[in-house]
A and B are shown apart, each in its own frame.
Chain A
Amino acid sequence: MLRLDPDALGELVAGRRVAMVSGTNGKTTTTHFLAAAVRAALGPDTDRLVHNADGANLHGGIASALGEHPHADLAILETDERVVADLVRLGRPEVLVLLNFSRDQLDRNHEIKGLGRSWREALATAGDAGPVVVANADEPLIVWAAQTARHVVWVDTATTWTQDAALCPQCGSPLVRDDPGGWRCTGCDLAQPPTTYQVVGDTIVRPDGSVVTPALNVPGGFNVSNAACALAAAELLGVDAETALTGMRTVTSPAGRFGTVTVAGSRARLLLAKNPAGWAEALPLATSSTVVLAIDSAAADGRDVSWLWDVEYEQLAGRSVVATGPRAADLAVRLAYAGVEHRTVPDLAEALRGHPEQVDVVATYTPFQRLRKLGGS
């Protein structure tokens, strides 16, 4: 991480209207949705907008995006979970979108609750000068972290991943789900808050009860959830819903996600999955007859690949599967125990060679970026 004088970031952001997006999964795509929504409203004045579109979301990446657009008065910033508290303090954002919280890179972030606590404290400190938060009401840790904000727009994202939320972040008691009613703590008053935006199937219900169909050009139900959060944020920034959705439909492969490249003569669609929650979303999208899975354990992937055993690879049984990447051997053992026949081809380009039909590739961060590069994307 580039160590930067925090005041420098404060100076770069000064005088701009700022909206931030953070969370473990989906922040790059959601930031692209929000930027596209705002761009649609700006019309020809798109120079007014700065967006760290490449996913460089730490202090250095945000500072360099801002530095390259000194005259843009609107900043839509994808923000790493570890930078949220700093940027709330320095950037005085108007809107902060908090998507989800899942364990990721545990070799560095030992306890995800500590990150949530840092958000909570930053929002409490910001008080009335703090952002309006758009928050996923389905995630207990997000709800707990967002509670201290001056105002929260809660979104029912219809999220299904629950494996990282057994205990209440506030009091440590077990959490339960009431059907209907959502989740609640058995020991204190923390519970799923009433929401103003709801995801229902492939539609979004807005605060006035109107139902809109995002009809996105990126796949997956989780992207409807991301779009609902982006829509709420765009409306807070003054963009009307129809314009926002029109903008969001222009997003097709945010920072290469869901994009198609040609590598070693084969067409490949790239899906990024960085942790068990991300894999649970991405694997069902991998519908090609041959599926390539690429695993690494560089710093950006997390050095510990134990999480492979929390991914339900069993669903690939009977398919043609290629295991690749520097940690292909770990994946091969996982697949063997999952009863999934596979070939192991550690070299990425070799693994992509010789597929007559387009293949879906699900990759962790480093091989995902390497495949983009190999494909010239």
Chain B
Amino acid sequence: MSTPLTTNDVAGQYGPGDGPRVEIVLVYQSLLGIYGDRGNATVLARRLAWRGFDAVLTVVEPGQPLPDTGQVYLLGGGEDAAQISAVRALQADGGLHRAVDRGAVVFAVCAGYQIVGRTFTVGDPSVPGGEDQVIEGLGLLDVTTTRGPRRAVGEILSRWRGRDGEESLLTGFENHGGWTRLGPDARPLADVEVGIGNCDDGTEGAVAGTVLATYPHGPVLARNPALADHLLSLALGEELAPLPRPEIDTLRAQRLAAVRARS
């Protein structure tokens, strides 16, 4: 028998076993998983479990249908070929559109962000046959990605719109060659304090309804627990009690100091 060459070890049940069930779907880890973005799934599942929910973390690979039972769908970063493969498989599947239609949360990072937009451009003009190609995205967000004048690589700090206080600061590491511009039906997730973000226009990420997208890895939800809890609140339709974790406060303080010292 044939099995996919890649394997995944984060799938499973997290939680006490008798709590309310919440399903997190990690989409195409083998294609959209080169920057540790599966950590976003681990973070959401653990934060649910710590609050007494039973989190079910489902990992779906191309060729397998996306479940229609998920409350949160996660997409991460990947290389060009993987990104094209992923968007074609998602178009064929259709499950992500159905998820959005029924109000599930989609959280897309980096290549995943570009995939949920209208179009994106891939290619490496420095190699033969590497000419730019414009690829049709899923159209879940009114954003368009083209090749930027330079690659954005480094720590990024932004301020989450509509939030205040320390938790409004979003910290992460960006690494992308595509520059993304927002159309009228999407609004930025945050305003950049340090880094490039969408296209060096001062904005970062995009939001429309229950679809949220952003560039930073980190993974971003590990570094920004308020954003993680926001996604969970949106999915569950309820406010969640805070979860104080001193090691996360320490990490945030350190990353904020580091990124500001460099700017």
Q: Closest B-chain residue to A178, C-beta based?
A: B2
Q: Interface code A300-311, partner B: CB below 8 Å = 1, 0 otherwise?
A: 000111111110
Q: Closest A-chain residue to B8, C-beta based?
A: A163
Q: Is the CB of A336 within 8 A of B247?
A: yes
Which residues from B are CB-within-8-Å of A103?
Answer: 34
Q: Is the CB of B3 within 8 A of A176?
A: yes
Which residues from A are CB-within-8-Å of B33?
Answer: 163, 310
Q: Does B149 make an interface contact (CB < 8 A)?
A: no
- CA–CA, A162 and B245, complex, Å: 34
Q: Closest B-chain residue to A276, C-beta based?
A: B36
Q: Interface code A173-187, partner B: CB below 8 Å = 1, 0 otherwise?
A: 011111100010000
Count chain A CB atoms within 10 A of each CB in B84, B245, B247 and give the residue with the most: B247
Q: Does B217 make an interface contact (CB < 8 A)?
A: yes
Q: Interface code B1-35, partner A: CB below 8 Å = 1, 0 otherwise?
A: 11111111100000000000000000000110111
Q: Is the CB of A177 within 8 A of B124?
A: no
Q: Which of B81, B154, B218, B254 contacts A303 (CB 8 A)?
A: B154
Q: Is the CB of B173 within 8 A of A303?
A: yes
- CA–CA, A218 and B124, complex, Å: 41
Q: Does A374 make an interface contact (CB < 8 A)?
A: no
Interface residues of B in 224-252 (CB under 8 A from A): 245, 247-248, 250-251
Q: Interface code A68-104, partner B: CB below 8 Å = 1, 0 otherwise?
A: 0000000000000000000000000000000000010
Q: Does B63 make an interface contact (CB < 8 A)?
A: yes
- B78 to A: closest C-beta gap in Å: 9
Q: Which of A165, A172, A309, A334 contacts B5 (CB 8 A)?
A: A165
Q: Which of B39-47, B91-99, B157-165, B196-204 contacts A (4 or more CB under 8 A)?
A: B39-47
Q: How many residues of B are in contact with the other chain, CB < 8 A?
A: 49
Q: Is the CB of A304 within 8 A of B6?
A: no
- B179 to A: closest C-beta gap in Å: 15
Interface residues of A in 154-170 (CB under 8 A from B): 162-167
Which residues from A are CB-within-8-Å of B84?
Answer: 172
Which residues from A are CB-within-8-Å of B35?
Answer: 106, 304, 306-307
Which residues from B are CB-within-8-Å of A110?
Answer: 79, 151, 175, 177
Q: Is the CB of A309 within 8 A of B46?
A: no
Which residues from B are CB-within-8-Å of A114?
Answer: 124, 127
Q: Interface code B119-163, partner A: CB below 8 Å = 1, 0 otherwise?
A: 000001001000000000000000000000001011100000000
A-B contact count (CB 8 A): 127
Q: Closest A-chain residue to B41, C-beta based?
A: A309
Which residues from B are CB-within-8-Å of A178?
Answer: 1-2
Instruction: Identify whether the interface residues of A are mostly helix, strand, loop, or mixed.
Output: mixed
Q: Does A358 make an interface contact (CB < 8 A)?
A: no
Known: A107-B153, A166-B30, A309-B38. A177 touches B177 (CB 8 A): no
Q: Does A150 make an interface contact (CB < 8 A)?
A: no
Q: Does B85 make an interface contact (CB < 8 A)?
A: yes
- CA–CA, A176 and B1, complex, Å: 9
Q: Which of B63, B124, B254 contacts A329 (CB 8 A)?
A: B254
- B77 to A: closest C-beta gap in Å: 9
Interface residues of A in 274-325 (CB under 8 A from B): 303-310, 312
Q: Which of A106, A167, A309 contacts B39 (CB 8 A)?
A: A309
Residues of B within 8 A of A (CB): 1-9, 30-31, 33-39, 42-43, 46, 62-63, 79-82, 84-85, 124, 127, 151, 153-155, 173, 175, 177, 217-219, 222-223, 245, 247-248, 250-251, 254
- The contact sample of 10 A-B pairs, CB cut-off 8 A, is A110-B177, A111-B80, A114-B127, A166-B6, A303-B155, A305-B173, A330-B251, A332-B247, A333-B222, A337-B43
Task: Given A107-B153, A174-B63, A176-B3, output 4 extra A-B contacts at Cβ < 8 Å.
Answer: A103-B34, A172-B84, A174-B62, A306-B173
